Chain A
Amino acid sequence: MTAVIELDRVSKDFVVMRKKGRLRRERMTVAAVDDISLRIDTGELVGYIGPNGAGKSTTIKMLTGILVPSSGTVRVVGLDPQRRRVELASRIGVVFGQRTQLWWDLPLIDSFDLLRHVYRVPADRHRANLRRFVDLLELEPFLHSPVRQLSLGQRMRGDLCAALLHDPAILYLDEPTIGLDVVSKARVREFLAQVNRDEGVTILLTTHDLSDVERLCSRLVVIDHGHVIHDGTVAEIKTMFGDTRTVVVDLEEAGPSLVVPGAEVVEVDGPRQWLRFRRSEVTAAEVIAAVVGQARVRDLSIEEPDIEDVVTRIYTSG
C-alpha cells in the first residue's frame, strides 16, 4: 500500500487577541492542531472525528494547501500542499458541508460546465462523469434550477458531484451530511461507499454523525484538542472503549432491583430492568444465569454498546 496522505508531527497555531480588562488586549496562541502524525493509504475511507474545536477542519485546510502548518510536514500524493497548491488541486476534491463551490445565481449545470474548464477535463470524459454522477445522486430534476433555489440536501449532492467531476484521487469531506434528513444521508453515504469502492477514491470524512462513520468507514481517527487520541477500526474502538454490554430482562412481575455479581442494575422500568456488566469481568451467560436464579424471566436481550456511547466515553475520558 502506498500512502497518499502523510502528516508528520504537524501542528497549527492560531494567534488570537483576547480582551483583557477594558482596553487591554492580549495575544493568545491557540494550538488548533498539536503534533499530529497520520498516514492514509490509497483507497482507504477514513472517518476523522472529534468534538467541536478539535482541529478537524484545520487539518483538512492544511491538506488542501490553504493553510500552512506552523511546524511539521504534510505530503499529499507526494506533494507539499501549500507550495504546490495549484498542482495538487486537480488531484483532490473537496466538500465543506457548510459552504458551496456552486454559483449561487446560476443553474446547477452551469457550475458543472465551468468546472470542466477549471480542471481542463476532456469534453467526453466530462460528459461521461457528469452522466454517471447525475444518475447516482439523482440530480436530474433540478439540474437546470438556480442553486439558490435548491434545498440543502439537493445542494449538498450538487457539491459532491462538483467535487468529483475531475476524477480526483482523494476526496476530503468536512461534514458532508450536516443538516440532511435520514433519506438524504443514506443516499449520500451509499454514494460515497460506491465512489470509494468502484473508483478507488481515497476518502477522508469528518462528521458529527457517528452512524456515518459506522456505516462507511473502515478506519476511525479520533482527535481532541489537536491530538490523535485513537486510530483504529470501528470494531477495535468498540472493544477498547466499549467493553460494556447490557442485559435487558423483562420479568414476570415488577420487583426490587436484582443483585447479580459483576453486573449493575442501571435502570428499572416496571418489570423491565437493565443490567450493565463488563465483558472482561463476567460473561453474558453468567449474568443471565444469575438473573434466572432470582426471578421468573419472560424475555431478555443483550445490547451492544452503540458508537455514540463509545465516542462519548472517549471524548470525556480523553
Chain B
Amino acid sequence: MRLYWEVLRRGFRRYSTYRAATLAGLFTNTVFGFLKAYILLAVYEQRDVVGGFDATDAVTFSFVTQGFFVMLGAGHLELADRIQSGDVVTDLYRPVDLQAWWLAQDLGRIAFQVALRGCVPFLVGSLVFDLDITSDPALIAAFALSALLGIVVSFGHRFLVTLTTFWLLDYRGTSQVATVVTMFFSGMILPIGFFPDWLEALARALPYAAMLQLPVEVLLGKHTGSDLLALLGVQVLWAVLLLAGGRVLLSAASRKLVIQGG
C-alpha cells in the first residue's frame, strides 16, 4: 500500500512540473465553460426545465464539468505509449501490480489537476452567472466520494482501452473512438438529460455517466437518500467491473505478450 501511495505522490508531483500546460488548460476550460453556458441558455429561451435541470442548473453544470473535465483523462493512459515503444519492459520486470501502479499514478495526476483546475471555471463563471450548488455538507462529502469513484471508473475504462495496444500495436484509433464516446456519454458535451429519452436511457446504462454526469448531479443536489445510495452503488459496480475486466485482459496479455523493439 505504501508503495502505491508513493507512486500517487509522484504522479502528483510530476504534473506539477508542467505549469504552463496546466495554466493553458485552465484558460481553455474556463472559456469553454462560457461557451457551453451560452449555448444551453439559448435552449431555456423556449423552456423552463429540460431533463430535470432549470437554467441555473444547466449553467452550473457547464462550469462544474469544465472544472472536472480532467477526471476523464484522455482516451488512453501514458502506458499506451510505453507499450507501443516497448518501454513497458521496464514496468514489467519490477515486482509491482501494473494496474495498481498506473491507477496510483493516474489518481496522483488527476488529484493535481482537480486541485488546481477544479474550482477555477466555477469561480470565474460565478462572477457572471448565478451558479448554485448544494450547500448540504453531507452532499458535498457524497460528491467527493462520487467524484473519486468517477475517476476510478474512468481509469478502469482507459486501462482497458490502453491494453488493446498489446494486440493492435497502435492505440491512436481506439483512443480517439474512446475519447469521443466518453465525451458524448459522460455529460461532458451536453448534460445527458438533454438527450432524447431513448438516448438518455442508453447513456445511463453505460459506464460513462458514472465518470462525470452522476458526480455532478450529486453536487447539484439532485439525489438524496436511497436514490443517492443507488447512484453510488452503480458507480461502485462499474468500477469493480472495469477493474476486473482490466485484470483479465492484463493476464491474457502477459501470457501472449509481444514486446516491441530490441
Contacts and interface: CB of A to CB of B under 8 A. Distances in A.
A94 B14 contact: no
B132 interface: no
Given A89-B93, A89-B94, A113-B6, 16 more contacts: A61-B89, A65-B93, A66-B89, A67-B259, A68-B255, A96-B89, A99-B87, A99-B89, A103-B10, A105-B14, A106-B17, A114-B3, A114-B7, A117-B3, A118-B95, A119-B94
Interface in B18-76: 18
Give chain A's interface residue range (CB within 8 Å of chain B).
Answer: 20 to 34
B60 to A, nearest CB: 35
A106 B93 contact: no
B258 interface: yes
Contacts of A200: none
A100 B86 CA distance: 11
A78 B89 CA distance: 22
B92 interface: yes
Contact of A106 (B13, B94, B95, B258): B13
27 contacts: A57-B262, A61-B259, A64-B92, A64-B93, A65-B93, A66-B92, A68-B255, A85-B93, A90-B95, A94-B89, A94-B93, A100-B90, A103-B10, A105-B14, A105-B17, A105-B18, A106-B10, A106-B13, A106-B17, A113-B6, A114-B6, A117-B6, A118-B3, A118-B94, A119-B94, A120-B3, A146-B17
B257 interface: yes
Contacts of B10: 103, 106, 110, 114
B96 A118 contact: yes
**Which of A66, A68, A113 has the most C-beta atoms of chain B within 10 angstroms of its own C-beta?**
A66
A101 B90 contact: yes
B3 A67 contact: no
Interface string A92-132: 10101011110101100010011001111000000000000
Contacts of A266: none
A87 interface: yes
A259 B96 CA distance: 69
Nearest to B13: A106
B6 A96 contact: no
A46 B6 CA distance: 36
Contacts of A101: 90, 94
7 closest A-B pairs by beta carbon, nearest first, are A89-B95, A101-B90, A117-B3, A57-B262, A64-B93, A105-B14, A86-B95
Contacts of B93: 64-66, 85, 89, 92, 94
Contacts of A87: 95
Contacts of A100: 90
A90 B96 CA distance: 10
Contacts of B254: 85
A14 interface: yes
A106 B14 contact: yes
Nearest to B18: A105
A117 B90 CA distance: 16
A91 to B, nearest CB: 10
Nearest to B1: A117
A14 B258 contact: yes
A172 to B, nearest CB: 9
Contacts of A53: 262
Nearest to B90: A101
A26 to B, nearest CB: 17
A157 B17 CA distance: 24
A119 B257 contact: no
Contacts of A67: 257, 259
A99 B90 contact: yes
Contacts of B262: 53, 57, 98
B108 to A, nearest CB: 12
B54 to A, nearest CB: 44
